[in-house]
């Protein structure tokens, strides 16, 4: 009996112990699931912040459209000098005639000094040249300007022979590797080649646009891709992206990068690159079954028409005579319209909120003037494939977030696939956390190859490989070594901190508008508003489409009885920004809000990309600005302004001085 009781007691004890362990495991599992869910919620909020700010920055190009539209409607040149100035501002490099471009390039007259220790190129290029370039760029060496121009010259000759849509076929033993956006991140390209192998007769690649901007080594990426293109013209294929455009490069850093790396010959290199971009093919078709385009499609995309478009269509090269002011006005309108076409097309959106316009109705070609009809139709086709994004809803509508292209639904995808007997589409253009993403019932694949795009740890890069069966196989990677050492919590915290820092800068840049909106809710002038009204007001000013109530704890640190002292909160934002920039807050707000537009305008005026504007250029430009801002400034007043902001008295205006002039005019308002 005693032995039986002991066994029973041990059994009960073991059972109780197992039950406790099970409960503990359930509790741990519940805690872990809540923990992971909170991390995922933080990650998604962070992602929305980055994307909203990125796309809002792209919309800033529309502000330039508004400025130039005002110029076209209200400014009439009073002399041939002003007419010539406007002509120089808006004539694009594509209008260079063949002989002029050859003369402008003139790489043969450049001598490579004996002291040069970088790689040497001779044409036709060989695989050893590509290997030497890769090693040189890994060692932070720079290719001599003569070789850069020579390479661009040969690349241009080759691209001119290519069709608008490249056709690639696979065989039983061959794979095609498709890479998405690289955006100047050379380490990602190195890692792709390390993992997948260099281009070769048995290793084909398609690079799907957006090689440049944002990253610091865009030019090196171009040089490498163009080199492999010339060595393996049948195995390497390049599609044009929305960032292969001069106006976009002025805003997002590539033009600045070239001029910093090649101070003497940078403007020649930029001019050649600008022309080369115009000749890049628009799409690639694999086995007549898989269409690769950079952005997307629309309900009016016509592949037959894309095949026939003159993708390098030149722009007017010379302004008409001042004698016919109507003709000159039309020329200015058409030329400016084309020069900024990529970044502002399709933004003439109806103000009516009763009915959301369809994409086709917004760009009705029958409403356009006769002489421009054909050109506008062609530009529309190109803009759609470079700027568009997929959406889960049916239909096709204006892409109001980016300001160009459209949103296309699964029904639009289905119709295109059926019409051209395609299996699926591959596109890029959007950063994805895992480097790739399917949508539209796996009929649209987004591939993005720039890892850590927003911040270290924000996303993986990826490329996709297609064999003869056209089944996609993905390879993901992180090019930054630090990202591998971070835990999930550390990675999300780091990215989150960067996102909220960018968001606070955005809030600070709209301080004046926020105060006005807050006061509208503060009827009794208490200096306080509810947190609900705070969220509504912030969205009404920034238009970022963010969940402000969810983000509020990270942005508003202290409240009293559920009320926010908004002036104190804005003062805290100003203090944070002033700690980084030792400038008075009122000026800093103006600069934060307008700097990107101002820098783009500055670079448009600075036609030789010297980083300086002459007194004459500034004088003519400021007449346009003062007209746009409704400020009356006499010629003597402008001359006094020029002299007063030329701080170093070198007879030129640099960008910092340009910003100071902007501040002075804003204050005079």
Catalytic residues: 243
Euclidean distance between CA atoms 583 and 508, whole angstroms: 13
Euclidean distance between CA atoms 78 and 55, whole angstroms: 39
3-state secondary structure of 40: helix
Token pair in block for residue 413? 């995808």
Decide if 87 contacts 318 (C-beta within 8 A).
yes
User: Is the sign of the CA dihedral 192, 196, 200, 206 positive or negative?
Assistant: negative
Euclidean distance between CA atoms 294 and 207, whole angstroms: 9
Euclidean distance between CA atoms 79 and 422, whole angstroms: 56
Question: What is the H or E stretch that residue 235 is in?
Answer: none
CA atoms within 13 Å, Cβ hemisphere of 390: 23
Decide if 483 contacts 453 (C-beta within 8 A).
no
Q: Is 574 exposed, middle or buried (0-12, 13-18, 19+ CB in 10 A)?
A: middle
3-state secondary structure of 179: strand
Decide if 254 contacts 211 (C-beta within 8 A).
no
Preceding peptide of 339 cis, ω within 30°: no
Query: Per DSSP, what are the bridge partners of residue 290?
Result: 286, 424
Residues with Cβ within 8 Å of 71's Cβ and at least 6 positions away in sequence, in order, are 332, 336, 624, 627, 628
Euclidean distance between CA atoms 548 and 479, whole angstroms: 33
Token pair in block for residue 594? 């307008």
Q: Which residue in the block uniquely carries the two structure tokens 């001085």?
A: 657
CA 217 to chain centre: 15
Decide if 167 contacts 455 (C-beta within 8 A).
no
Preceding peptide of 124 cis, ω within 30°: yes
Euclidean distance between CA atoms 416 and 385, whole angstroms: 13
Residue 665: other Cβ atoms inside 10 A: 15
Of 150, 135, 342, 155, the C-alpha closest to 220 is: 135
Euclidean distance between CA atoms 38 and 36, whole angstroms: 5
Of 441, 485, 446, 477, the C-alpha closest to 459 is: 477
Residue 336: other Cβ atoms inside 10 A: 20
Q: Which residue in the block uniquely carries the two structure tokens 């007043």?
A: 637
Task: Name the region of 543 (left: φ>0; alpha: ψ -120 to 50; beta: rest).
Answer: left
């Amino acid at each position: 009996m005693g032995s039986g009781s002991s066994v029973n007691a041990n059994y009960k004890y073991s059972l109780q112990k197992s039950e406790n362990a099970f409960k503990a495991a359930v509790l741990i599992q519940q805690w872990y699931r809540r923990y992971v869910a909170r991390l995922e919620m933080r990650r998604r909020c962070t992602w929305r912040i980055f994307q909203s700010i990125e796309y809002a920055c792209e919309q800033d190009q529309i502000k330039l459209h508004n400025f130039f539209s005002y110029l076209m409607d209200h400014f009439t040149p009073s002399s041939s000098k002003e007419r010539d100035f406007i002509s120089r501002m808006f004539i694009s490099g594509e209008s260079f005639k063949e002989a002029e471009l050859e003369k402008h390039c003139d790489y043969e007259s450049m001598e490579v000094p004996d002291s040069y220790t970088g790689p040497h190129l001779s044409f036709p290029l060989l695989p050893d040249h590509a290997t030497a370039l890769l090693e040189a760029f890994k060692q932070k060496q720079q290719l001599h300007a003569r070789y850069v121009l020579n390479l661009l010259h040969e690349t241009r000759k080759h691209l001119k022979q290519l069709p608008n849509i490249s056709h690639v076929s696979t065989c039983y033993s061959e794979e095609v590797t498709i890479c998405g956006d690289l955006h100047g991140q050379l380490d990602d390209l190195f890692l792709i080649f390390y993992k997948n192998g260099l281009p070769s007769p048995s290793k084909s690649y398609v690079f799907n646009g957006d090689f440049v901007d944002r990253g610091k080594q865009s030019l090196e990426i171009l040089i490498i891709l163009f080199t492999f293109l010339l060595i393996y013209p049948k195995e390497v294929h390049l599609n044009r992206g929305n960032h292969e455009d001069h106006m976009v490069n002025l805003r997002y850093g590539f033009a600045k990068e070239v001029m910093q790396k090649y101070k003497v010959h940078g403007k020649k290199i930029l001019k050649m690159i600008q022309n080369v971009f115009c000749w890049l093919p628009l799409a690639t078709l694999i086995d007549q079954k898989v269409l690769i385009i950079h952005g997307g499609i629309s309900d009016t995309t016509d592949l037959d028409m894309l095949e026939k478009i003159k993708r390098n269509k030149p722009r007017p090269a010379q302004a008409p005579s001042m004698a016919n002011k109507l003709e000159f006005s039309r020329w200015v309108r058409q030329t400016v319209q084309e020069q900024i076409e990529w970044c502002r097309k399709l933004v003439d959106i109806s103000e009516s909120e009763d009915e959301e316009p369809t994409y086709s109705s917004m760009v009705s070609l029958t409403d356009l003037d006769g002489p421009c009809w054909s050109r506008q139709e062609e530009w529309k086709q190109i803009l759609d494939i470079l700027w568009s994004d997929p959406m889960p809803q049916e239909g096709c509508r204006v892409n109001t977030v980016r300001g160009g292209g459209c949103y296309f639904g699964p029904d639009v995808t289905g119709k295109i696939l059926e019409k051209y007997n395609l299996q699926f589409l591959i596109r890029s253009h959007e950063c994805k956390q895992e480097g790739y993403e399917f949508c539209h019932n796996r009929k649209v694949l987004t591939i993005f190859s720039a890892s850590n795009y927003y911040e270290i740890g924000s996303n993986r890069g990826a490329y996709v490989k297609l064999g003869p069966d056209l089944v996609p196989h993905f390879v993901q990677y992180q090019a930054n070594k630090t990202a591998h050492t971070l835990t999930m919590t550390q990675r999300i915290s780091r990215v989150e901190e960067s996102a909220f820092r960018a968001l606070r800068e955005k809030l600070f840049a709209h301080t004046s508008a926020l105060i006005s909106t807050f006061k509208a809710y503060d009827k009794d002038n208490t200096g306080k508003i509810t947190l609900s009204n705070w969220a509504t007001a912030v969205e009404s000013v920034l238009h970022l489409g963010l969940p402000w109530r969810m983000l509020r704890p990270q942005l508003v640190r202290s409240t009293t009885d559920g009320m926010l002292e908004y002036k104190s909160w804005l003062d805290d934002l100003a203090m944070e920004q002033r700690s980084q920039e030792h400038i008075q807050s009122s000026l800093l707000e103006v600069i934060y809000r307008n700097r990107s537009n101002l820098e783009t305008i500055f670079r448009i005026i600075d036609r030789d990309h010297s980083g300086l504007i002459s007194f004459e250029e500034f004088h003519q430009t400021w007449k346009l600005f003062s007209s746009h801002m409704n400020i009356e400034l006499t010629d003597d007043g402008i001359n006094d302004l020029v002299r007063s902001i030329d701080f170093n008295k070198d007879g030129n205006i640099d960008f910092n001085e340009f910003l100071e002039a902007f501040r002075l005019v804003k204050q005079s308002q």
